[in-house]
Structure 1
Amino acid sequence: MNKKRYYIWALWLVGLFASSPTIAQKSDAIINRLEKHYTLFPDGRMQYREVKNLTLKTHYAFHRSYGESFILFNPEAQTLSIDKAYTLMADGKKVETPKNAFNAVLPRTCSNFPRAAHLREMVVTHTGLEVGATIHLDYVIDTRAGFFPALMGNLTLPQEDPVKEMKVVVRLPEGTPLNYHITKLRTAPEIMQEDGFTVYTFTFPNLAPRSHDQWQPTEGEEYPTLTFSSSKDLHRLIDRYVNQEAFQLKCSPAMLQAATEKTKEATTEKEKISAIQSLVANEIRHFNIAEKHLGYQLRTPEQVWQSNGGTKAENALLLTTLLRAVDLRATPVALFAPGTPHKRAGNLNEIINYLVEVKTKDGQTSYLATNREHHTDASEEYPGYHTLTLDAAIESLRFTTLPRTSLKRELQLTLHFTPEELTTQGTLFLSGKHGPSFKENDTTEYLDKLKELSIKPADVTQLEKIEPKGVKVTFRTSGEHPEEGRNGYYLLSLPHLDSDPIDLQPSTLQESRTSDIDLGNPLLISYSFEVNIPEGYRFVIPQTDIRAKNSFGSVEIKYRQREQRLNISKRFMVPSPTAKKEHWKEVKTLFDLWRTGTHHQLFIKEERM
C-alpha cells in the first residue's frame, strides 16, 4: 500500500472545551468515540459510515435518550448495513443485539405521504442496558451514483452529551478537491493519500455538550461547525438544483381556477396574498421530510397540487406559482442561518427552510411561510438569517439578510370601575414580530393579541395602518366588574399584549446558563393605564416605583395617584437583543422585575362604614 501523509498542526482555541471529567459530571452519558466517515467513489457512488461508542450514566439515558437508535434511509437509492451492535454491561459482559431488535418502520414524518412511503427508519433497540453499560453501534449506508448532487456534510460538532473524541473522515478520489469550512476553531485536517483516494481526517477531542438554555444564538453562531462539499462551489450546486422542471412554476388550469376563486373578493394585494396563503396552509398537507432523503428531487407544483401535499420546498414552489397566477410578484427563497452558507464549502444541507418572497406595488417586500396560516411577515421569525433567491434565470447567487426589526408593543387604557361593571377604552399598537397582518381589515387578528381583556370586533372604533409595518387599534367596551374577594377587595388584572415576557415559563429564567443570549429582536413594551374608581373605594398599590437600568436594557414602573384616579406607566426596553453569558445576571434581573406579580395586578378596596 502506497501511503503519503501530510500533517497540518491544529491550533486549538484555549479554553473552548472543558476536560471530559469536568463536563461529564452533570451529563446523562459520555460519548467515548464518535466517528463519521464519508466516501465518494470514482463511479459516483457514496458511502456513509457511523461508529458510536457511549457509556450510560443515568437511568434517564437508557430509558429516554439512548435506549434506541434511529437510522433513516431511502431503500430505492440506499442500502443499510449494520456491522456491529452490542452492549458491554457494567461488569464487562458483552450482550450482542439480537435480530429481533432491528426493525425497519415507516418514518413518522412520512405517514400519509405516498411520495415518501418507501422511506424506512431502522429502529435499533439496544439490550443489556444499565447504568455503567457501554453501547457500541457501527453501521454503513451505501448510496447509488447520481442520487446526491455532491458529497456534502453540515455538522454541528457538540452533541447532547460530552464527547471524548470525534472524528470526521472524508475520502475523495485523487484530484477531486474538498471545500471545507470550520467555525469557532482554528484547526485543519490531516491529509493522506491512500489507494487512489485523498483522505481528510478531522479530529475533535473533548467536546462539551450542547446547552439546553433558552434564547440561544443559532447553532452556526454558538457552536463549532464543520461544513464540506465535493462540489466546486455553492453556485454549482444551486444551479443544478434550480434547473429541475419543478422550478419552471407551471400553473395548471385547475390551479388557476382555484386561485382566482379564492381571491375574487380581495380588493388589495395584501388581501390576495392572505387568501392564497390560506389556500396552501389549510388545504395542502405539509410533510416535514428533509429534501436530502429524496435526493433533492422536487415534484412540479401541479403534481403537488394533484397529490394535495408536499415537502417544505415543494409547497414553497406551489405557493409561488399560485401567487403568480393572480399577478403577484413572488419568488421562492431558501433560508440559511446567520453565518451560513460558505460560498465554497456551503451546500444544500445548510438550507433550514423555504419561504416565498412577495413584492407589492407600494415597494414593500414580505416573506410568507407555507406550513401554517400565518398572516404576518415570516421574516420577523428569522432575524439575521439569509435568504437565497431560487431562480434559474439569475446568473449569480443573490442573498438577502433579514433585518432585526424591533418588536414593539404599546397599550393605552382608561378604565372606569364601579361595583356593577368595568368600562374600558383604549388603543393598542403592534409592530415587528407577529405585528401587522396581510388581512388588513380583520381586527380579530389584532384583538387576539390582547391578554386579560376580552375585546370583540364590534368594540373597535378605529383601525389605522402605521407605516412601514405597524397597526393601531382603538376600542371601547363594557363588562362585568372584577371578581370580588374577601373583605371588600376587588382584583383587577392589568391587560398585556402578546410577546410580553410576563408569559415566560419560569424555566426560561434559570439561575445560570452556559450559552450566550439572543432574544432575536430588540424589544420595546410600553403600557399606560388610567384607572378611575368611585367614592367609597381606594387603591391598594405598591409603596415604591421600580427603576432599573443596566447594560442589557431598562425597566420602569411608576404609580401616580390623585384622589380617585391612578395612573400606571410601565416600560420595558431592550435596545440590543444579544448578550454574553457572563451578563446573564443583568438580563435575568430585568426580566424578574418585569414579571413580579404585584405589578400586573391592582387591588381595589371598598371602604366600609
Structure 2
Amino acid sequence: MVLAVLGAMVIPAAETAAETAPAPAVGTTAGAAGQAARLTLTDGTVVNVDDFSFAGATGTVRVGTTTRQIGRGELRDISFTARQAGQAAMATGAADMQAWKERAERMLERFPDCNSILLLDEGEYTYRADGTNVSKYRGVVYIAKDEALGQGDLTIGLDPNRERVRVLHARCLDPDGVLHTLQPDQIQVSKGESGGVFFDQNQELSFTIPGVTVGAVIDYSYETETYNPFDRNFFQSYFFFQGGEPVGDSILRVRMPSDKPLYHLAPNCPPDKAKPVITQEDGQTVYTWTFTDMPPIIEEPYMPPMRDVLPAVVFCLQKDWKYFFDRMKPMFEKRFTLTDAVKAKVDQLIEGARDVHEKIARLYLFCQKEIRYISIKGNLASNQVGHPAEETLKNKYGDCTDKGMLLATMLKHIGVEAYPVGIRTNNAGRAIRDLPIFDANHCITQVRLDGRVFYLDSTATDYRYPYFRDDDHDTTIDNPLREEIASIPLPPPEDNLTEMTRTLTLSADGTVKVDYVSKQNGTNEANSRYSIRNLKPEEYLREVRESVAGLTPDYQLEIASHSDPLDFSGPFTIHSAYTLNRFTPRSGSYLVFEIPFFRMRFGEVSLAKRTYDIVYTTSKKRVETIVINLPKGFAVKYLPQPLRVKNAYVEFEVTYDQKADQIEIHRTLAFPQRVIPVKDYGLYKEALERIARSTEERIFLEQVEGKEASR
C-alpha cells in the first residue's frame, strides 16, 4: 500500500493500480470504534486509514498507533469496501517473491562470494506540466550473508515543506516461504540528524522490514513527491546502474510532458546503452534505460570515485547554464555587498601589512580561523548562495558558501577581484558541466590578481596562504557572478612539498645518531598541522617514540619538537633527534648499513593488472638530503649506484657521493600527475617497483686495518 507523510503523521494513502507487483497488506484490522476505510478529501487526495468513525461533525482516523481528528467538511467520499478489498488484494504476493528468490539462487551460482544481490533496481522520475515532480524507487534484494542484513533498514530524507514521501510497499519472503509485511506503526518520522555543524529543517522517514534474515528476499518501493519545488524549472537527477553487488535488472525511466524536451548524458555507459528507448504514453514522452545481469564492481587501491566508474545517466530540463546563471546571479549580487561593518573589519585586519599578499593572507586566515564552520540551510538562497557577508561576519559562523562569500567580499574592499565559486571536490567524482547540473558539493573563493587566477578555500583551517585544499585541485568551477564555467588546474608538485634533512653519525659498534629536520608546504603541511594540533604534547611524544621503536627497541629519544601549528607566518617544521643503539649489524670487519626510514613502498601498484585508473587527490614532491658521518677507521666498500627514473607520471633521482669521511645522499621523488590511466599502468608499475627496489640497497663499510676505530 501507499503511505503518505502529512507533516509528522504517517497516513496510509491509496493503493495504485500502476504497481509492478501486488503490494502486501500493511494495515491492521478496524478497531471497535469503526472500520478500515478509504477516504477521499475535498482536494482530491485519497488516503487509507486503519480505523475510521464519526461523532457529530468530527471524524476520528487511526493509522497504526497514530490518531488524528478530521472535519466532515474535509471529506468528499468515504469507502469501507474499497479499503477492505485493497487489503485483501495486497495480502497476496508470495508467488512473485518466490520467482525473485529463484532468480537470486541462479545468480548466486555465478557470484558465490557476494553479500547480497540487487535483483531489481528501478527508478522512475516524472516531471509534471505544473513543474512539480515525483520520483519512485523499487528495490528487490536477496540477502546472502550477515553483512547485508542492514539492507532491511531504510531511511528516507525529506523536506516536509516541499516533499511528501509515500511507502508503496515493504515486504520480505523469509527462507521458510513466509511473507512478512510492514505495518504502519512500524514507520517512524523524525527530525533528520543534523550532526555537529549541520542544521536544516529536514525530516527522516525510517523503517525496518520485518523478517529479514540470510536467505530472505526483500522488496520495497517508495515515492517522493516534490509538491513545492525550489524552482519549477528545476528537475534533474543522477542514476547509477551498478555497484558493489551483482545486479539483475537496473532500469531508469523518465516521464516528461510530450511538449517538454529532456536533456541527458550517459557517463561511463557503453555506446549501445547510452541512448534511451523513447516511447509515448498518455501524453507523456517516456525515456527508458535498461541494464541487465551486471557483475559487482571489485574495488582496487587508489581507484577513482565510484561516480567516475559506474555507468550512469544524468538528466535535466535545460541544455545550458543560462537559465540558472540568470536565476542565481541576482541572489549572489544581493549578498556580495560591502557594508561599513565589513569594511571596518577588513581595515582592522590589514593594518600594517607590507603588501597585497600579506593583506590577502590575513583575510584568508581570519575566515579560516575566526568563522566557525556551521551550516544552516532552509531555502534555495541559503543552499546555493549562502548568507550576506555582514551576516556571516556578525554571526562568526557559516558553511563553505558563507565563508567563500565573506572572503570574496573582504577582498573586494582591498581592490582584489574575487568571487565565491561552486565546485565538486575531486574525491567525489568529476562534475557534470556539459549540462547545467547542480552537483557541486563545496564552495571556495576565486581570486584574480595581476593577471593570475588562483583559489583559496577558507573552510580548510590548516592551509597557509597561498595554498588550498587538495580535493579542490583539478576540478571544475561554476561562477554565477561571471556567468562562466572554468577549470582549476592541478598545482605543480612543488606546491605540495616536503623537504627533509637527516644527519646520521655512525659508530663502529653500529650505533647511529640521527638528527632529522623537515619543512613542508601545501597539503603535506596542512595534514601535519592538523594532526599535531589535535595531539596533546605527551601524545605527540608517544607517537614519535612508537615510530622510532619500530626500527629497534634499543633507542634513546633526545628531541621531539615542532613549530607552532597555529603560527602561519612560515612553513611548518619538525625536528627530532634519537640514538639507535647497535642498529647496524656487523659481520667481521664489515658494517652493513641500512638508512633508517629510507625504504619506499607503493601499494597502488600491488596488483598484477588493474581495471581502473590510479587516482590521487593532487600532485606532490619529496626532497631529501642525507649526510652520513662515517665511524673512524672505516672506509666505504660499496655504495649503491645512482638511479634516475622519469616518465609522465613519476620523477625520481637518487645520488650517492663520498666526501672524505662523509657520504652525502640526495633523493627526489615527484608525482606531477593526479591520474594514471589504466592503459599506462604497466609503465607506472615498472617504474615504482624499480624505485622501491633501489631503496632496499645497503651501504657496506669496511674497517681498514691499521686505522683507529672507536668502539
Whether TM exceeds 0.5 here: the answer is yes
1:319 aligns with 2:412: no
1:176 aligns with 2:260: yes
Quote the residue 1:12 is aligned against: none
Quote the residue 2:117 is aligned against: 30
2:579 partner SS: coil
**2:640·2:699 contact (CA, 8 Å) conserved in 1?**
no
Runs (5+) with no aligned partner, structure 2 = 1-105, 530-539, 549-558, 704-708
* Overall identity of the aligned pairs, in %: 17
Deviation at 1:133, TM superposition (A): 1.7
Quote the residue 2:237 is aligned against: 153
Deviation at 1:227, TM superposition (A): 1.6
Further displaced range: 397-406 or 234-243: 397-406
Runs (5+) with no aligned partner, structure 1 = 1-18, 440-447, 465-470
Cα distance change, pair 213–254 in 1 and its aligned pair in 2 (3 A): farther
Aligned 1:379-528 pairs, distance under 5 A: 381-391=471-481, 394=482, 397-408=483-494, 409=497, 411=499, 413=501, 415=503, 417=505, 480-485=577-582, 502=600, 509=606, 513-519=610-616, 521=618, 524-528=621-625
Deviation at 1:144, TM superposition (A): 2.3
Please give the alpha-carbon distance, in whole angstroms, between the structure 2 residues aligned to 1:120 and 1:141.
Answer: 13
Cα distance change, pair 157–379 in 1 and its aligned pair in 2 (3 A): farther
1:155 partner SS: strand
Q: Deviation per CA, 1:109-157: give whole Å up to 9, x if none.
A: 455655x1x2112233333222222222211111124424411113344
Quote the residue 1:52 is aligned against: 139
Q: Deviation per CA, 1:335-390: give whole Å up to 9, x if none.
A: 256864344x3321x223221011234x4332111322122433754443222222
Quote the residue 1:200 is aligned against: 287
Cα distance change, pair 279–575 in 1 and its aligned pair in 2 (3 A): closer
Further displaced range: 378-387 or 128-137: 378-387
Q: What TM-score, normalized by structure 1, do the two folds share? A: 0.75
**1:102·1:122 contact (CA, 8 Å) conserved in 2?**
yes
Quote the residue 1:443 is aligned against: none
Further displaced range: 399-408 or 215-224: 215-224
Aligned residue among 66, 70, 79 for 2:155: 70
Aligned residue among 70, 89, 94 for 2:174: 89
Please give the alpha-carbon distance, in whole angstroms, between the structure 2 residues aligned to 1:230 and 1:135.
Answer: 34
Deviation at 1:407, TM superposition (A): 1.4
Relative contact order, higher structure (CA 8 A, sep 6+): 1
The AA in structure 2 aligned to 1:530 is V
Further displaced range: 29-38 or 246-255: 246-255
**1:246·1:317 contact (CA, 8 Å) conserved in 2?**
no
2:580 partner SS: coil
Q: Deviation per CA, 1:414-466: give whole Å up to 9, x if none.
A: 62627799586989686x765799x9xxxxxxxx9x999967569xxxx99xx
**1:51·1:139 contact (CA, 8 Å) conserved in 2?**
yes
Please give the alpha-carbon distance, in whole angstroms, between the structure 2 residues aligned to 1:544 and 1:306.
Answer: 62
Deviation at 1:332, TM superposition (A): 1.2
Quote the residue 1:137 is aligned against: 220
Please give the alpha-carbon distance, in whole angstroms, between the structure 1 residues aligned to 2:181 and 2:581.
Answer: 67
**What value does the CA root-mean-square deviation take over the aligned residues?**
4.5
1:532 aligns with 2:615: no
Quote the residue 1:104 is aligned against: 189
1:262 aligns with 2:359: no
Deviation at 1:78, TM superposition (A): 1.0
Deviation at 1:207, TM superposition (A): 3.7
The AA in structure 1 aligned to 2:207 is V
Cα distance change, pair 93–604 in 1 and its aligned pair in 2 (3 A): farther
Deviation at 1:306, TM superposition (A): 4.4
1:226 partner SS: strand
Quote the residue 2:442 is aligned against: 353
Deviation at 1:548, TM superposition (A): 6.4
The AA in structure 2 aligned to 1:119 is N
1:250 aligns with 2:334: no
The AA in structure 1 aligned to 2:275 is A
Quote the residue 1:467 is aligned against: none
**2:318·2:436 contact (CA, 8 Å) conserved in 1?**
no
**1:422·1:480 contact (CA, 8 Å) conserved in 2?**
yes
Deviation at 1:553, TM superposition (A): 4.3
**1:191·1:198 contact (CA, 8 Å) conserved in 2?**
yes
Please give the alpha-carbon distance, in whole angstroms, between the structure 2 residues aligned to 1:457 and 1:50.
Answer: 54
Quote the residue 2:460 is aligned against: 372
Aligned 1:264-279 pairs, distance under 5 A: 264-279=351-366
Between the two proteins, the alignment pairs up a number of residues equal to 551
Based on CA coordinates, which of the two structures has the bigger radius of gyration?
Answer: 2
Please give the alpha-carbon distance, in whole angstroms, between the structure 2 residues aligned to 1:281 and 1:241.
Answer: 25
Please give the alpha-carbon distance, in whole angstroms, between the structure 2 residues aligned to 1:540 and 1:225.
Answer: 61
Deviation at 1:76, TM superposition (A): 1.2
Q: Deviation per CA, 1:544-576: give whole Å up to 9, x if none.
A: 776767886465545455663223333435565
Deviation at 1:406, TM superposition (A): 3.1
